Amino acid sequence: MDKEETKPLNRIKVVLAEKGKPNKFLSDNLGVAPTTVSKWVTNTCQPPMETFVKIAKLLDVELAELIRM
For the chain, what are the domain ranges?
3-68
Cα 10 to Cα 46: distance, rounded to the nearest angstrom = 8
Given a cut of 70, is residue 19 above it in pLDDT?
Answer: yes
- For residue 38, the Cα-to-chain-centroid distance in whole angstroms is 9
pLDDT the model gives residue 15: 94
Task: Please answer whether residues 11 and 65 qualify as being in contact, where contact means their C-beta atoms are separated by less than 8 angstroms.
Answer: yes
Cα 31 to Cα 3: distance, rounded to the nearest angstrom = 30
One-letter amino acid at 29 equals: N
Cα 46 to Cα 36: distance, rounded to the nearest angstrom = 9
What is the average per-residue pLDDT within 37-51?
94
CATH 1.10.260.40 fits 3-68, yes or no: yes
